[in-house]
Each structure stands twice: as structure tokens, then as C-alpha cells.
């Protein structure tokens, strides 16, 4: 376990020096929130002020981006470079590489969530009980695991040239149809209900407005997570057989 944690720490340090991560996972959500939050502050969405909804949405955008697009590309490139093969020849446990990636992903999603939530409180004027701040942040943080699993599946299954467009396509479909860039209603709202991104956002808005969170929200997120985990396991096993 110590060796796995050491591998995770090395991954976290490397990501901390990655400018691309800082721009797309932290910088972009922050800039968008600063621009949009106050311009529509008199509107309500999903039963909460727009600034509160957009806070959840932008925190999710940053967290899911760092969990999916960056991870998938790095895993695929490291496979191509032979790094995964070299690790398998060491005394590390067979699952150390994947576990280290998951740990690192869970750590690097924290800054984007925390910074946007702080903006929501001190810039967007979002007010709620302390436990709700932790609950909303926790929902987004745990929800990002779904996209970490997808990143492992894509990174192990496809070569670097193909990974980036595939990961970006999955990310934009999930984020746009899931209501992270704009609130959904009508037909789009019905489509969005089947996606984990939509349900994570609605869990946040339900918590803020003190509405009961429907069980279907958790079931939807767990179903997607389970599906992506299965894909990841199949992709990892397929790669192990060819190395």
C-alpha cells in the first residue's frame, strides 16, 4: 500500500505543475462564474438562485474535466510509452497503477470544487448552513469518481491520438446534456435526467433548497458508475493480456 501511495503522490506532484490542468480545471470554471454569476442573479433555476445553480455547475465542470479528459490522455500516453509495462515488472501490486490514478484524481479535483464554492459564497452571495456546503462539495467530489472510471476505460482502450477526441466528446455530451453549461427544461430536461451530471447538479440544488433528494438520483449515478467500472475492468484486463 505504501508503494501505491508513493506512486499517487508522484502523480499529484506532476499534475500540480501541469498548466493545462490549472487552466481548464480551475481557471475556466472560475472565469465563467465570475462573468455569469452576477449577470443573472435575479433568476431562479431548479428552485434556487441562478448563482447557486451555476456555482454547482462550474464546480462540477472543473472536477469532471480533471477527472476525465486529463486522466484518459495520460493513461493512454503512459501505456504507449511503456510506463505501465515497466510498473508491472516491479514489485508493485498489479492494481497499483490504477489505484494511484484514482487517488490522484480524487485529490486534484478538490481545488476546482473548493475555489468555485468559495466564489459562490463570497462573490455570488450564496448562503446556506455549513453542513450543506460540505454536502454539496462532497456530492460533486464523489460524483467525479464516475468520470475517473470512464477515464481509465478510455485510456486503457484507445491510443493517444484517439483518446483526446473521444474523451472530449464524452465530456461535452455529459456536461451539455447534463445541464452544466445551462439549465435544462422541456425535452432536454427529460434527456438530462438519465445522465449522472444532471443528477449531481440536482442533488446540489435540492440540498440548498432543503428539498428531499429523490432516490432515483443516487440510482442513476450508481448505475453509470457501475457501467464505467465494468468497462474499465474489461479494458485493463484486455491490456494485461497483450503485455
Cβ atoms within 10 A of the Cβ of 7, count? 19
pLDDT at 191 over 60: yes
Residues 134-159 have pLDDT tens digits of 999 999 999 999 999 999 899 888 88
pLDDT of 131: 95
CB neighbour list of residue 235: distance below 8 Å, 6 or more residues apart: 152, 153, 154, 155, 156, 157
pLDDT at 98 over 70: yes
Q: Please state the domain count of the chain.
A: 1
Confidence of residue 100 (pLDDT cuts 50, 70, 90): confident
Confidence of residue 241 (pLDDT cuts 50, 70, 90): very low
pLDDT at 126 over 70: yes
pLDDT at 91 over 70: no
Confidence of residue 52 (pLDDT cuts 50, 70, 90): very high
Name the residue range of residue 226's domain.
2-242
Confidence of residue 57 (pLDDT cuts 50, 70, 90): very high
Amino acid at each position: 500500500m505504501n508503494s501505491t501511495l508513493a506512486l499517487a503522490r508522484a502523480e499529484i506532484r506532476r499534475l500540480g505543475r501541469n498548466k493545462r490542468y490549472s487552466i481548464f480545471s480551475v481557471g475556466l470554471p472560475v472565469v465563467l462564474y465570475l462573468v455569469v454569476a452576477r449577470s443573472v442573479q435575479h433568476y431562479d433555476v431548479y428552485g434556487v438562485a441562478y448563482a447557486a445553480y451555476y456555482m454547482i455547475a462550474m464546480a462540477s465542470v472543473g472536477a469532471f474535466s480533471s477527472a476525465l479528459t486529463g486522466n484518459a490522455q495520460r493513461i493512454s500516453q503512459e501505456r504507449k510509452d511503456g510506463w505501465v509495462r515497466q510498473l508491472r515488472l516491479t514489485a508493485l501490486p498489479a492494481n497499483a497503477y490504477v489505484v494511484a490514478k484514482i487517488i490522484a484524481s480524487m485529490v486534484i479535483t478538490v481545488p476546482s470544487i473548493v475555489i468555485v464554492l468559495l466564489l459562490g459564497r463570497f462573490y455570488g452571495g450564496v448562503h446556506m448552513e455549513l453542513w450543506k456546503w460540505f454536502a454539496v462539495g462532497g456530492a460533486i467530489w464523489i460524483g467525479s469518481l464516475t468520470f475517473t472510471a470512464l477515464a481509465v476505460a478510455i485510456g486503457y482502450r484507445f491510443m493517444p491520438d484517439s483518446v483526446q477526441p473521444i474523451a472530449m466528446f464524452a465530456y461535452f455530451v455529459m456536461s451539455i446534456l447534463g445541464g452544466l453549461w445551462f439549465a435544462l427544461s422541456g425535452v432536454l430536461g427529460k434527456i438530462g435526467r438519465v445522465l449522472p451530471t444532471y443528477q449531481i447538479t440536482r442533488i446540489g440544488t435540492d440540498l440548498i433548497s432543503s428539498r428531499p433528494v429523490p432516490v432515483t438520483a443516487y440510482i442513476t449515478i450508481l448505475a453509470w458508475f457501475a457501467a464505467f467500472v465494468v468497462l474499465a475492468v474489461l479494458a485493463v484486463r484486455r491490456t494485461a493480456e497483450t503485455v
